[in-house]
Structure 1
Amino acid sequence: MTRDVPAGAAGEYVEIGFIRKPVGLRGWCGVTPHGATLERLDAPCEVFLGIDPGALETVRLREVRDEPKGCRCLFEGCEDRDAAERLRDKSIYVRGDALPRLAQSRYYHFELEGLRVVAEQGGAELGIVRRVQNYPSVDALEIAGTDGRMVLVPLRDEIVRDIDREAGCITIAASNLDELFE
């Protein structure tokens, strides 16, 4: 399930995962991570949980384990399946200003949301990135096309040619994707 991501580093909180369900009897939660940030946290650490970014609770993330279908998280005070069940359908957030600064060629997925998408050949505007979808085989840009249709474009070097955060623009090799943007 995809959730809307808050404004990110420009705002106060960044959504990094979504709690799907309890796992086992000892308080573990199955989580769908949004990118690799959750797995890279130095647990134990402070995170924020909630359905609405305006009403979050502070909790301590005790442990994160990578799993084939996402990851498994254990939160302080969550000792059994019933406690884990109460966390179901909540999102996991961190403070945007707590995220490490990335190299120029690297980016957080939330930084791509709202960027214009243009064709490499001719520079035609193709749409706006609404969110980045995390799939097991590849991440994909969810683009609201200029005609209003939603299009998924794989976030791969042979397709995404340039990401210019300062200019607010992503350039893609649209020649292979012409039928999607007609």
Structure 2
Amino acid sequence: MTNQDRICVGAIAGAFGVKGEVRLKSFCSTPEDITSYAPLYSEDGSRSFTLKLTRGVKGGLAARMSGIATKEEADALRGLTLWADRDKLPSLPDDEFYHTDLIGLEVLDTGGARLGTVRAVHNYGAGDILEVFGPGRRQALLLPFTKAVVPTVDLTAGRIIADPPEDLE
């Protein structure tokens, strides 16, 4: 399995309580759906888990994970990202994308000039932002991932056409 065959669907924020539950951040549009994509894997694929949600908690969910029985074991998982097999995830509408599919795409402006490559996708609460890094740039170009600024995403061709506002270039 390569990382292209899996999508990051959540992360462990640490232990919850003293009986081995974890505090879970779900990256799914419906947070509770994360359990239906099990088994979930560590990023390197060396460990797999099933999840049983136990309750909602501030900033996420509390869950029991297979093989985790103590607070210490749960604490040891802090920061672990959880990955699901891509074929277990729902198909997306034409105008939605998994972040992992955008990373590495070449970004061109509407005139065909190369702006760089998508290095990361961020969301600080007001929508997705593409971090584009390219030759000749001292710092990354941050593009709002909206139809107006990014009118074309062509996964097959491996590129994005962007129309950044003039003050961003």
Q: Residue in 1 aligned with 2:123?
A: 134
Q: Residue in 2 aligned with 1:87?
A: 77
Select the residue among 45, 52, 60 that pairs with 2:38: 45
Residues 132-178 of structure 1: CA deviation (Å, up to 9, x unaligned) = 1233332221211332432222222332212111121212221x2x3
Query: Could you say if the C-alpha distance between residues 23 and 42 of structure 1 is closer, same or farther in structure 2, counting changes exceeding 3 Å?
Result: closer
Quick check: 1:113–1:129 contact (8 Å CA) kept in 2?
Answer: yes
Q: Residue in 2 aligned with 1:164?
A: 154
Name the SS of the counterpart of 1:160 in structure 2: coil
Distance 2:143 2:54 in 1: 30
Gaps of 5+ in 1: 1-5
Identity across aligned pairs (percent)?
27
Quick check: 1:27–1:80 contact (8 Å CA) kept in 2?
Answer: yes
Query: Could you say if the C-alpha distance between residues 64 and 106 of structure 1 is closer, same or farther in structure 2, counting changes exceeding 3 Å?
Result: farther
Distance 2:60 2:123 in 1: 10
Q: Residue in 1 aligned with 2:4?
A: 8
Name the SS of the counterpart of 1:40 in structure 2: helix
Alpha-carbon RMSD: 2.9
Gaps of 5+ in 2: none
Q: Residue in 1 aligned with 2:53?
A: 63
Quick check: 1:117–1:169 contact (8 Å CA) kept in 2?
Answer: yes
| TM-score computed with the length of structure 2 as normaliser | 0.78
What is the one-letter code of the residue matched to 1:171?
Answer: I
Q: How many pairs are equivalent? A: 167
Name the SS of the counterpart of 2:73 in structure 1: helix
Q: Residue in 2 aligned with 1:28?
A: 21
Residues 49-81 of structure 1: CA deviation (Å, up to 9, x unaligned) = 25xx1x521111112866663554431343442
Q: Residue in 2 aligned with 1:180?
A: 168
